[in-house]
Chains A and B, each alone.
Chain A
């Protein structure tokens, strides 16, 4: 297991290095001139040259790459050509909002997905199972940004049950920053009004972001439960007279969770990608919205930074899943 993890970690480093190459190459295939874009339509040649020098765009490509990579190793993502902000600072400001949203959505997807999956398997072929299946087939096909708009329209604008955008009420100051997660920070500082407001704001975006994953986890869990329930060791346990509840909770569930775990790891990365759409609809001030706003104005460095941060996050999540395998499945530990 240890050797396996070391190999996995080595591959992770190679992949991340490759990602910097791809992202850098992508940002330099552009036919347009970023310096000209940043200087604005009225700039003369001299001003454009000045900007080109300022951002190092006058250097040959390999030199630019090495400079960029050197910066990355020091945690420096460069500066936005649009706002002149340090990208590192922007990421630090926006990343917690995205992670809070993704963690909350993942919690919903895992808790409800596994519960629904178990219920659908235990009560299979009842009307409840059929309803769950139909909903989960629909859940994978629905365009997330459209679902977001429709729920925002229904619950936010028409019924006025929840706020339709933002992270916290505009009239309220955010809780003292400890982790950057509003829900956690407001709890730690006993700031109940802020906690309630943050919870009301996160509900809809998290629900939308989790919907396709919730559907996928439900389907996977149901299929794996049914697969496990018909195995010999379950029949044996039944023959020994163990109560059905114990069989499902202790033996079937643990075995059925293993493939679902892989799916959850994959879904984490997928959700990070989905934040781009959900944050756009709900004005959620995270890195997804930041990437969209930067990409519309061809501001590469923030987009590159967001791509790399998401890649790193995703890679670490998959490493974590591989480690959890060892906990859940003793057979993996030996290899």
Chain B
């Protein structure tokens, strides 16, 4: 079994040798840029904390609404690095346990956006015609309002809550990918290798997803990295205004919203969850920036 898998891997590598070289070169270029390395380190740390959160948090039971009224709203100390909240829960533990939730929300939002937006974008850009026109008009409608506003409208209708906030963000996130991929696909349509594929009798679907899609992969990857950061900001924003995650869910935005009531004296409550958001978003942005410099240098900014 293992040797069969081994030969498959060797054959795969041989067939795609040039691509592997390309990837190696890209990885090398990413590692040469100090800001990308910082971004990669932050994102790596974020993923590790999300994976092992319950083991790392000193008071894991504090994420699920435990109460310790004897130590409520205490300042940061050796026992509680980020202080405690109004029911005595350890804010450091809640920030750590909120990481997994944040990762899940941003992965779902960006994942749905890619799954919906990319095929529509390829259809609009490669196939064109009335269908392409229709897709782009609908996309324009969704891009006509800032995503956060439309998301608020959707949550206002569905009712507050973390699931509804995720649905709302997913519903407003896909149009950006349609725009991006449509532009790319229109440009690729003119290339010789598409002509060649058509000459050897490839079907439209095969060209669309076998030739056009792989050539859109770099900008999609760059946008996805940037969007991970933006989706985290969006979810935290909804939590902050009170229509996203509801207490006692350890969601960073909702924690800041609760901590806001205890300013200015209990400054630690709102400060540390916000710093966690800032650091995480910064990591994804730096990584996205670095990837763009390497993979897609012409579309800077």
Pick from A18, A23, A149: contact of B260, CB under 8 Å:
A149
Contact across chains for A219 and B301 when beta carbons are under 8 A apart:
yes
**SS class, residues of chain A in contact with chain B:** helix
Q: Is A315 an interface residue (CB 8 A)?
A: yes
Q: Is A15 an interface residue (CB 8 A)?
A: yes
Chain A contacts for B233, CB-based, 8 A = 143-144
Chain B contacts for A303, CB-based, 8 A = 152-153, 156
Chain B contacts for A299, CB-based, 8 A = 156
Chain A contacts for B150, CB-based, 8 A = 22, 26, 307
Q: Is A327 an interface residue (CB 8 A)?
A: no
CA distance A28 to B168 in the complex (A): 14
Contact across chains for A137 and B286 when beta carbons are under 8 A apart:
yes
Q: Is A274 an interface residue (CB 8 A)?
A: yes
Name which of B229, B241, B263 has the most chain A CB atoms within 10 A of its CB.
Answer: B241
Contact across chains for A314 and B144 when beta carbons are under 8 A apart:
yes
| A32-49 interface bits toward B, Cβ cutoff 8 Å, 1 = contact, 0 = none | 100000000000000000
Contact across chains for A314 and B278 when beta carbons are under 8 A apart:
no
CA distance A152 to B207 in the complex (A): 55
Pick from A27, A144, A314: contact of B145, CB under 8 Å:
A314
CA distance A55 to B237 in the complex (A): 31
Interface stretch, picked from A66-74, A193-201, A288-296, is A288-296
CA distance A14 to B301 in the complex (A): 29
CA distance A27 to B156 in the complex (A): 8
Q: Of all chain A residues, which has the CB nearest B277? A: A143
CA distance A32 to B157 in the complex (A): 8
Q: Is B285 an interface residue (CB 8 A)?
A: yes
Chain B contacts for A141, CB-based, 8 A = 229, 278, 281-282, 285
Interface residue tally on B, bucketed by range: 35 or more
Q: Is B52 an interface residue (CB 8 A)?
A: no
Pick from A19, A29, A219, A292: contact of B141, CB under 8 Å:
A19
Q: Of all chain A residues, which has the CB nearest B289? A: A137
Interface stretch, picked from A89-97, A175-183, A236-244, A265-273, is A265-273
Q: Is A63 an interface residue (CB 8 A)?
A: no
Contact across chains for A298 and B157 when beta carbons are under 8 A apart:
yes
- Given contact pairs A18-B137, A150-B274, A307-B145, A223 touches B300 in the complex (Cβ within 8 A): yes
Q: Is A328 an interface residue (CB 8 A)?
A: no
Pick from A146, A280, A292: contact of B277, CB under 8 Å:
A146
Q: Is B236 an interface residue (CB 8 A)?
A: yes
Chain A contacts for B35, CB-based, 8 A = 137
Which A residues between 292 and 321 are near B, CB-CB below 8 angstroms?
Answer: 292, 294-296, 298-300, 303-304, 306-307, 310-311, 314-315
Contact across chains for A18 and B140 when beta carbons are under 8 A apart:
yes
How many A residues touch B, CB cutoff 8 Å? Answer: 60
Pick from B149, B229, B263, B286: contact of A149, CB under 8 Å:
B263
**SS class, residues of chain B in contact with chain A:** helix
Contact across chains for B281 and A149 when beta carbons are under 8 A apart:
no
Contact across chains for B153 and A310 when beta carbons are under 8 A apart:
no
CA distance A73 to B2 in the complex (A): 70
Contact across chains for B144 and A16 when beta carbons are under 8 A apart:
yes
Chain A contacts for B153, CB-based, 8 A = 23, 26-27, 295, 300, 303-304, 307
CA distance A19 to B267 in the complex (A): 41
Q: Is B173 an interface residue (CB 8 A)?
A: no
Contact across chains for B152 and A276 when beta carbons are under 8 A apart:
yes
Q: Of all chain A residues, which has the CB nearest B285? A: A141
Q: Of all chain B residues, which has the CB nearest A259? A: B301
Contact across chains for A277 and B237 when beta carbons are under 8 A apart:
yes
Q: Is A127 an interface residue (CB 8 A)?
A: no
Q: Is B214 an interface residue (CB 8 A)?
A: no
CA distance A306 to B146 in the complex (A): 11
Q: Of all chain A residues, which has the CB nearest B229? A: A141
Which B residues between 89 and 122 are near A, CB-CB below 8 angstroms?
Answer: none
Chain B contacts for A292, CB-based, 8 A = 152, 241-243
Contact across chains for A146 and B152 when beta carbons are under 8 A apart:
no
Contact across chains for B159 and A274 when beta carbons are under 8 A apart:
no
Contact across chains for B240 and A277 when beta carbons are under 8 A apart:
yes
Q: Of all chain B residues, which has the CB nearest A22? A: B141
Which B residues between 193 and 231 are near A, CB-CB below 8 angstroms?
Answer: 229
CA distance A214 to B230 in the complex (A): 17
Contact across chains for A143 and B278 when beta carbons are under 8 A apart:
yes
Pick from B147, B236, B289: contact of A143, CB under 8 Å:
B236
Q: Of all chain A residues, which has the CB nearest B35? A: A137
Contact across chains for A270 and B146 when beta carbons are under 8 A apart:
yes
Name which of A138, A276, A291 has the most chain B CB atoms within 10 A of its CB.
Answer: A276
Pick from A15, A138, A149: contact of B140, CB under 8 Å:
A15
Name which of B146, B147, B233, B240 has the most chain A CB atoms within 10 A of its CB.
Answer: B146
CA distance A195 to B147 in the complex (A): 34
Chain B contacts for A314, CB-based, 8 A = 144-146
Q: Is A106 an interface residue (CB 8 A)?
A: no
14 A-B contact pairs sorted by A residue (CB < 8 Å): A14-B137, A18-B138, A21-B141, A22-B150, A137-B289, A144-B237, A145-B256, A149-B260, A152-B263, A153-B267, A219-B301, A280-B240, A294-B156, A306-B149
Seed contacts A141-B282, A295-B243; 16 additional CB < 8 Å A-B pairs: A15-B144, A18-B141, A19-B144, A22-B142, A26-B150, A26-B157, A27-B153, A29-B157, A30-B159, A142-B281, A145-B240, A149-B274, A269-B145, A277-B237, A280-B241, A307-B145
8 smallest beta-carbon distances between A and B, as pairs: A273-B146, A146-B274, A295-B156, A18-B141, A157-B264, A141-B282, A141-B281, A30-B157
